[in-house]
Amino acid sequence: MALSDERVRALEKKAEAIRETILSMLVAAGSGHTAGPLGMADIFAVFYFEILKHHPANPEWEERDRLILSNGHITPVRYAAMAHAGYFPIEECLTLRKFGSRLQGHPERIRLEGLETTSGPLGEGLAQAAGMAYALRMDGKKNRVYCITSDGEHDEGNTWEAIMFAAKNKLSNLTAVIDRNNIQIDGMTEDVMPLESLNAKYAAFNWHVLEVNGHDIAAFVAAIEEAKAINEKPTIIIAHTIPGKGVPEIEFDYHWHGKPPSKEEAARFLKALRSAKGRVPHEYA
C-alpha cells in the first residue's frame, strides 16, 4: 500500500532531524565523514521508522530484520537514526569517536547493541549479509536481511563474489541498497574506476534490479515492497543520492567525503538545513 502524504512528511521530518544530529556529532568529534551520512539520511529514516522489524528496547530480538552497513564510514547516519529510534539517548551522539565511546568511527558490534556487524574494510558487508540470509533460510526463518553498500565499494572483488553467491543461492530474503552518490575519497567514481552500467551488471548476475531517487521516500518504500514480492532471486536497489544532501554548498563535492565541518561551517550548514524547511531546531541537533 502506498504511503500517505502525511506519512511521507513525517519520515521527511525524521530525516531532517537525523541530518541535524549528524552535523552536531561531527563537530563534537572533530573528525569523520560528512557527505555520505547527509546523503543517506532519508534512507536510514525510512529503514528505522518504516521498514525494519526491530525492537530498540530488545536489540537482540530473534525476529528482527538484519540491517548490515557495509560502508562503515557513513556510520554517523546510522547512529543518529538509532538514537532517534530509541536505541540510546540522542545526546550520546555527541560522544562520536571519543575514547571509550560506544559510537566509534566505524561501527563495532561488540560495543553497541543493535549493530549486526563490525565494518571498516570496504567490500565485506554484502558477503556478510548473504551469509546471514543463507543461514536464516536454512533455519526456516522469515527474517529479512538488508545491506547498505557504497558505489565505490564495487571496486572491491569481494563484493562481486558475494553478488555471485547470493544469485546462485537465490537469496530472495536479501535486499541490497547501493548508495549511488558518485563520489569516493579520491574523486568521482567514474573517474577513479568506472562502474556503469551497474544496472546491467547486476541483471547479468541474475539479481532483480530497481533504480530509485534515494530522496524520494515513497518511491524507496515502494521499491522495498517490490523486493519482498520477488521470491526467486535477491534484489538490488540502486538509490541515486546527493552527497551532502541539504547543504547546497557541499553537495556533490567529493572533498567532503571524508572530512567534518568546523564549528563555524556547521553553524552555516545547519542554518541552510533549517532555512530550507523553515523549522525550529530541536534541543539536540
Nearest C-alpha neighbor of 214 from the set 184, 175, 180, 252: 180
pLDDT tens by residue, 23-60: 999 999 999 999 999 999 999 999 999 999 999 999 99
pLDDT tens by residue, 223-280: 999 999 999 999 999 999 999 999 999 999 999 999 999 999 999 999 998 887 644 4
pLDDT tens by residue, 181-209: 999 888 999 999 999 999 999 999 999 99
CATH match for 5-277 among 3.40.50.970, 3.40.50.300, 3.30.70.20, 3.30.565.10: 3.40.50.970
| Measured distance CA(144)–CA(228) in Å, rounded | 9
Taking the CB of residue 101, how many other CB atoms lie within 10 A of it?
17
pTM: 0.93
- Return the domain boundaries, the chain: 5-277
Q: What is the pLDDT of residue 283?
A: 37
Angle between helix 263-277 and helix 5-29 axes, rounded to 10 deg: 170
| Cα radius of gyration (the chain) | 18
pLDDT tens by residue, 98-157: 999 999 999 999 999 999 999 878 889 999 999 999 999 999 999 999 999 999 999 999
